[in-house]
Amino acid sequence: MGNLASQDAQELEWIRRAQRGQREAFGSLVERYQRRVFALVFRLTGERDQVEDLAQEIFIKAFRAMGSYSFASSFGTWLSRIAVNHCYDFLRRRRASAARFEPLGEGMEAKGGLADMASVRGPDPERAALLRDLTSKLLARAPRDDRVLLVLKEIEGLSMEEMAEILGMRIGTVKVRLHRARKRMLEDFRRLQQRR
C-alpha cells in the first residue's frame, strides 16, 4: 500500500488542501487511489455489482475524516484502513440480512462441482483457473475475519506491519490470527479433496 516516504510532494499538497476542505484536491486523491480501492473492495466483498457504491462511500468517509489523518502512515494505508472497516461492516450486514453463504456442507458438490475442482493438481492453466475459482468460493464462505486477513496478506501482499496498522492490531496478534485463518482455509480445502 506504499509507505510514508513514497508520498510525493504533489500528493502531500493534495492531502493538505483536502484537509482544508478543498474538494478538487480530494478529487485528485480519488483519481490516484480509485483502482486500489476498487480492487480491495472487490477482493474483500466479492460483490462485483456493489464495488462502485462501496468505493464511493469509502471516499466520502475518507473526505470527512481527512482532518484525522496525521501523516503517521502513508495515505494509502490510512485509506485502506477505512476501506477494510467499511467492507467489514458491509460483510456483517450482508451476513446478518441473508444467509447467502452456506457453511461448507453436504450440498457443496452440487454447487458447481467444488469438490471436483479441489482435486485438480498440476501447472495446467485451465486447472489453475479452476483452483482459483474454488479458492475464491472458499474465501467467500470463510469467516469474515479470516477473509480480511487472507485477502490483505495473500492477495494484496501486505507486510505484517502494514496489516497491523490497517487492522489496528499488534503485529503478534496479526501473525497468530493469520496462522489460524490459513489453517482453517486449508482444512476446508483438504476436506473437499477428501470427499472425492
Partner 1 sequence: MRCKEVQDRIVDGQWEAPVRTHLAACTACRAFAADWEQLEAALRGLGMETGPEPSWGFAARVLRRLEESSREELEFVERAGRRAVYAAGLVAFVIWLAVALPSPGPLRGPAPAELSPTHAQAARPAASVFASDVDEGEDLSPLPVALNGVEPK
**Whole-number Å distance between alpha carbons of 180 and 178:** 5
Nearer of residues 99 and 137 to partner 1, judged by Cβ:
137
Nearer of residues 94 and 184 to partner 1, judged by Cβ:
184
31 binds partner 1 (CB under 8 A): yes
* Binding segment toward partner 1, per CB under 8 A, in 34-42, 92-100, 107-115, 164-172: 34-42
55 binds partner 1 (CB under 8 A): yes
DSSP per-residue letters across 28-76: HHHHHHHHHHHHHHHHHH--GGGHHHHHHHHHHHHHHTGGG--SSS-HH
**Whole-number Å distance between alpha carbons of 33 and 78:** 12
Nearer of residues 63 and 101 to partner 1, judged by Cβ:
63
Q: How many residues bind partner 1 (CB under 8 A)?
A: 43
* Per-residue DSSP letter, 6: G
Q: Which of residues 57-86 bind partner 1 (CB under 8 A)?
A: 59-60, 63
39 binds partner 1 (CB under 8 A): yes
89 binds partner 1 (CB under 8 A): no
Longest dimension (CA), the chain: 60
Burial 53-81 (b: 16+ CB within 10 A, else e): ebbebbbeebbeebeebeeebbbbbbbbb
For 84, the grid coordinates are: 477494510
Q: Least distance from C-beta 83 to partner 1, angstroms?
A: 13
Please give the residue ranges that form the binding site for partner 1 (CB under 8 A). Answer: 23-24, 26-28, 30-31, 34-35, 38-39, 42-43, 48, 51-52, 55-56, 59-60, 63, 121, 128, 131-132, 134-136, 139, 150, 154-157, 175, 179, 182-183, 185-186, 189-190, 193
